[in-house]
Amino acid sequence: MKKSKQANTPELEDEADKISNMPDHVLQLILSNIPSTEEVIRTSILSTRWRYLWTSIPFIDIDYTRGLNPLTQFNSNGFREFVYWVLLNKPLNLDSFHLRCEYYYNMVTLRQWIHTAVMRKVKLLDLTFCPKEESEDVQIPHSLVTCDSLEVLKLCLLGSRLCVPNVTGFQALRVLELKEVYLFIDNLVGYFLESCPLLEDLSLIDCRAGEYVISCSNLKKLRIHTEKLASVDDDEDDHFDSGDCLDLEICCPKLEFLKLTGYVAGNFLFENLFSLKKAVIHAKDLFIFDEPDFDFFSTISHVESLSISLYCISACFDPEVNAPILLPNLKTLEIILDGTNMQALIPFLKCLPDLDSFHLIIPKHIYRVRKWNLEESETINILTRHLKKIEFLEFDEEKTKLDIARVLLEHGNKLEEMEFKWGDEARLHERSMETMNQVSSFEKASSTVKLRCSVIDPSQIDSSPYDKILDIELIPR
């Protein structure tokens, strides 16, 4: 037996060596699919062939949290030397540089890293950091502004102030994402919009600003999300808090996609959105200060796909005051029932007789079903005539939601899918099949409707789409 094992050893070594004998471009393709630079560098110990191969991979992705043992202290000096070493060993052309180091380093070190990446003609820069000193601002280097290779810039500054040199630059920038950035100073959003002639994609995530004026002739995608609302009387020098934007003005004639979620602004003004195809409007503070003095839905009248909350509908449309809504191109509608009052939804649906698809999302807290009037024939007919998909969020076998499911299954003759998204994975495993059997026993107007169960990450409840971890499907016969 020993002889047999020894005889097979060279064959196994030959098999293992086949990968190393592949051409360089094939090995580089393999390494390019390894997500972190730390893991890519570890391949250098495989053989002499692999020793320097990692240096030819045109990306850097370094995160100080990877492999960090909670029982040991973070070695900031060792991490700093590692970042320098990787940057110095990389080729002239660098496709992307992702770095997460948070608050461990001062701006001198951070500016050196950014400058080195710029000298490597970086195309995508994705940085998560803030200065070691809380009072210090983030001053990006002059070389970054004038970098003619940078196409994508993503900055997460963890609540720090951003300062940009007053020079013309970012001539190649197409995508800009600012996250947790203090934007009160010098109208920075306006600066980026004016200074970036090729900018097409803008995201402002949990940023702090007094107002947003988004006016850009080439912008095609815009996302604004703010997690919570802070008091407008807060001292600007206090710790970072999001949600201070009072006014939002958007004037972008080429805008195709618009997403507003969370506490975005108190007042809104939309103009020249002639190219808008898809809109996601889940703003929790829509017109919280004043009623709109314009027809909100007419400003997005060209949309083909609309996702909107019931709160936003109620804030923008009063059937007793406003003229009927005209959305002639709208084919797909998604509504989140973040309120229990259906009085605003039914008149809204009456204005949309030409829908192709209607998607209904029912959140966790739905109680007063009587206000829905689901047993009333006109209401249920209007609600279900285009209804193709229903989602119940954070489902936990609530009788209220099961009653809603029963009624919608009984009348939804175009229904294609009903999904129950559980908030707890253990409950999903324990109870989902019994729940599905109960729902399957309900009378169904559609013979092809699919019933599904899945579990979602609770931290993603306010986002769309929702992260799915596990999926169980039952197709009723």
Residue 385 lies in a domain: yes
Residue 7 lies in a domain: no
Same domain, 322 and 409: no
Split the chain (477 residues) into runs of 10 and give each run's mean pLDDT: 47 54 68 76 68 76 78 81 88 88 91 93 95 86 93 95 86 96 82 90 92 92 80 43 71 96 86 95 77 81 94 85 87 85 82 91 69 72 92 88 91 94 88 91 94 74 38 37
Residue 400 lies in a domain: yes
Which of 325, 355, 385 marks a domain boundary?
Answer: 355
Asked whether the beta carbons of 176 and 204 are under 8 A apart, the reply is no
Amino acid at 220: K
Domain count, the chain: 2
Alpha carbons 44 and 38: distance in angstroms, whole number: 11
Phi, psi of 40 (to 5 degrees): -60, -45
Which of 327, 355, 383 marks a domain boundary?
Answer: 355
Phi, psi of 110 (to 5 degrees): -65, -40
Same domain, 317 and 389: no
Q: Is 338 helix (H, G, I), strand (E, B) or coil?
A: coil
Count of CB atoms situated within 10 Å of the CB of 51: 12
Comparing CA positions, the residue from 188, 178, 180, 176 lying closest to residue 152 is 176
Partners of 362 in the β-ladder = 392
Same domain, 475 and 410: yes
Residue 107 lies in a domain: no
Count of CB atoms situated within 10 Å of the CB of 84: 14
Partners of 278 in the β-ladder = 257, 305
Residue 292 lies in a domain: yes
Residues of the domain holding 309: 225-231+239-355
Structure letter (DSSP) for residue 217: S
Comparing CA positions, the residue from 471, 396, 472, 394 lying closest to residue 440 is 472
Same domain, 350 and 246: yes
Same domain, 417 and 471: yes
- The two tokens of residue 440 are 């399957």
Same domain, 273 and 322: yes
pLDDT of residue 238: 42
Same domain, 319 and 379: no
Which of 310, 327, 355 marks a domain boundary?
Answer: 355
Comparing CA positions, the residue from 225, 263, 285, 244 lying closest to residue 463 is 225
The sign of the CA dihedral 424, 425, 430, 434 is: positive
Summarize pLDDT for 160-169 with one digit per residue, the tens.
999 888 888 8
pLDDT of residue 463: 43
pLDDT of residue 233: 45
